[in-house]
Amino acid sequence: MRPYEFAAPRSLREALDRAGDGSAYLAGGTTLVDLMKLEVLTPSRVLDINRLPLHGITLDDQGLHIGALERMSDVTEHPLVRERYPVISRALDLSASQQLRNMASMGGNLLQRTRCGYFRDVSTPCNRREPGSGCAALDGVNRHHAILGTSDSCAATHPSDVAVALVALDTVLHLHGPEGARTVPLDTFYRLPGDTPHIENRLRPNELVTGFTVPPLGWATRSTYLKIRDRQSYDFALASAAVALHLRGGHIVAARVAAGGVGTRPWRLTGVEAALADRPATPATYQSATAHAADGARTLSGNAFKPELLRRTLVRALTSLGDAR
Ligand SMILES: Cc1cc2nc3c(=O)[nH]c(=O)nc-3n(C[C@H](O)[C@H](O)[C@H](O)COP(=O)(O)OP(=O)(O)OC[C@H]3O[C@@H](n4cnc5c(N)ncnc54)[C@H](O)[C@@H]3O)c2cc1C
Ligand code: SF4
């Protein structure tokens, strides 16, 4: 690991004043410290933000508010989250391990970097780590890689599970930077790789994530997250589905659907949502509504199974929420 300056600011103002070229914010450190040890990230200054007042899990008329420094384990265990938004607690329960969830923050989770093995190996070409160097994954080991939103420059999946649930719920991110506070819908926060995969999101230089708000959605009580992975102990998704169903008398009034493990960012499936609305809540509906979920997919040598896996994952998740046969 390279030498770096360290500071632990006590206020948002102090954090922003100390931030600059080459600085990095440290929350739980479960991504940042790993990448520093591998010399994938080499910040000259690390700003520990854990003393900042970015906590709180509250519910009001505007929805559910969660501070960026809330630990994943505290959010998943919170009764309000479990009762009102089970899709969030389920996605967190299936993320990483208990030890990691105790340490890792919600803000850090949303900003974690890709798990593409080549990104983490500085001896290989990777456009995301070193712009213009090439992409070792396109003709390499790519079982875990994306099939939606990829480009000739990068096909890395977005690794966060809870981001998939939050995108399905229309979550709004709260940011604070040198120019003040602003909000951005989480769905548009993440960028497609295009030919600049190293620019992953719309965060401005030195801007902090202070928290996020999940808008009210009464019927999110009927929601879940299904994650398919190679091993059950802990692993990243090969495919996952965040779904919520508004049912009335065996009929679907409305649906929310997003997928993980298949896209270069959390992948909202509005076409599937539209195809589910006003239809009977039956497996036949789920089959037909998800038939085109992977349209436009571009598979690689190792992940041709993903379009079918995505469709099956969606059908299983939807069936688990409502089957009016
Ligand atoms: C073995 C292992 C398995 C894992 N499995 C999963 C999994 O199955 N699913 C899943 O979703 N995740 C998984 N993860 C990832 C884990 O959830 C993330 O490492 C964690 O959530 C990051 O949070 P952190 O607080 O530790 O972030 P840090 O490591 O402190 O920071 C991560 C990044 O975000 C930036 N950052 C942090 N907070 C802020 C903020 N408030 N504002 C601006 N920038 C900020 C940092 O500068 C850094 O770039 C796994 C991690 C490991 C090591
Ligand atoms: S898929 Fe993306 S992250 Fe992985 S090697 Fe290629 S450019 Fe790098």
Closest protein CA for atom 38 of ligand 1: 108
Residue with tokens 């495919």: 239
Q: Is 91 in the pocket of ligand 2 (CB under 6 A)?
A: no
Q: Based on the structure, what is the number of domains in the chain?
A: 2
User: Dmax over Cα atoms in the chain, in whole Å?
Assistant: 63
Coil vs helix vs strand at 310: helix
Asked whether the beta carbons of 70 and 76 are under 8 A apart, the reply is no
Distance (angstroms) between ligand 1 centre and the Cα of 58 equals 22
CA dist 94 to 73, 89, 156, 262, 277, Å?
A: 11, 9, 20, 17, 28
Q: What is the number of the ligand closest to the CA of 54?
A: 1
Asked whether residue 1 carries a pLDDT value surpassing 90, the answer given is no
The predicted structure's pLDDT at residue 264: 98
What is the pLDDT averaged over residues 229-258? 95
Is position 159 within any domain? no
Q: Domain range for residue 28?
A: 1-50
The predicted structure's pLDDT at residue 126: 98
Distance between CA atoms of residues 305 and 257, nearest Å? 21
Report the nearest atom of ligand 1 relative to the CA of 35. Answer: 29
Residue whose C-alpha is closest to residue 212's, from 91, 63, 87: 63
Closest protein CA for atom 49 of ligand 1: 32
The predicted structure's pLDDT at residue 325: 60
Residue whose C-alpha is closest to residue 95's, from 166, 184, 32, 154: 166
CATH code (residue 38): 3.30.43.10
Is position 289 within any domain? yes
Is position 170 within any domain? no
pLDDT band at 254 (very low <50, low <70, confident <90, very high): very high
The predicted structure's pLDDT at residue 322: 84
CA dist 280 to 253, 288, 309, Å?
A: 9, 12, 24
Distance (angstroms) between ligand 1 centre and the Cα of 69 equals 11
Q: State which of 40, 112, 116 you would mutate to test the pocket of ligand 2, scoring each by most atoms of that ligand within 8 A of its C-beta.
A: 116
Distance between CA atoms of residues 216 and 238, nearest Å? 30
Distance from chain centroid for Cα 239? 13
Is position 176 within any domain? no
Distance between CA atoms of residues 56 and 325, nearest Å? 42
Q: Is 31 in the pocket of ligand 1 (CB under 6 A)?
A: yes
Average pLDDT of every residue of the chain: 97
- Listed in sequence order, the residues at least 6 apart from 178 whose beta carbon sits closer than 8 Å to its beta carbon are 16, 205, 206, 207
Report the nearest atom of ligand 1 relative to the CA of 163. Answer: 11
Q: Is 197 in the pocket of ligand 2 (CB under 6 A)?
A: yes
pLDDT in tens, 115-151: 999 999 999 999 999 999 999 999 999 999 999 999 9
pLDDT in tens, 290-312: 999 999 999 999 999 999 999 99
pLDDT band at 233 (very low <50, low <70, confident <90, very high): confident
Report the nearest atom of ligand 1 relative to the CA of 236. Answer: 8
The predicted structure's pLDDT at residue 92: 98
Is position 246 within any domain? yes
The stretches of 67-214 forming alpha helices (DSSP H) are 72-77, 79-84, 86-93, 98-103, 106-111, 162-168, 186-189
Is position 137 within any domain? no
pLDDT in tens, 61-71: 999 999 999 99
The predicted structure's pLDDT at residue 324: 63
Report the nearest atom of ligand 2 relative to the CA of 124. Answer: 5
Distance from chain centroid for Cα 229? 16
Q: Is 272 in the pocket of ligand 2 (CB under 6 A)?
A: no
What is the pLDDT averaged over residues 68-95? 98
The predicted structure's pLDDT at residue 138: 97
Residue whose C-alpha is closest to residue 29's, from 95, 100, 122: 100
CA dist 160 to 88, 238, 240, Å?
A: 12, 12, 11
Decide which of 50, 73, 89 is a domain's last residue: 50
Distance (angstroms) between ligand 2 centre and the Cα of 20 equals 27
Q: What is the number of the ligand closest to the CA of 122?
A: 2
Tokens of 205: 């230089």
Closest protein CA for atom 53 of ligand 1: 30
Is position 86 within any domain? no
What is the pLDDT averaged over residues 37-61? 98
Distance (angstroms) between ligand 1 centre and the Cα of 235 equals 14
Residue with tokens 């999940």: 214
The stretches of the chain forming alpha helices (DSSP H) are 12-18, 32-37, 72-77, 79-84, 86-93, 98-103, 106-111, 162-168, 186-189, 270-276, 283-290, 306-321
pLDDT in tens, 150-198: 999 999 999 999 999 999 999 999 999 999 999 999 999 999 999 999 9
CA angle, 279 then 219 then 89, to 5°: 120
Distance (angstroms) between ligand 2 centre and the Cα of 219 equals 38
Is position 207 within any domain? no
Q: Is 116 in the pocket of ligand 2 (CB under 6 A)?
A: yes
Distance (angstroms) between ligand 2 centre and the Cα of 116 equals 6
Q: What is the number of the ligand closest to the CA of 123?
A: 2
Asked whether residue 242 carries a pLDDT value surpassing 80, the answer given is yes
- Listed in sequence order, the residues at least 6 apart from 76 whose beta carbon sits closer than 8 Å to its beta carbon are 82, 88, 89, 92, 93, 101
Closest protein CA for atom 2 of ligand 2: 154
Residue whose C-alpha is closest to residue 115's, from 247, 264, 11, 315: 264
Q: Which of 37-41, 233-237, 278-282, 309-313 has the lowest mean pLDDT?
A: 233-237
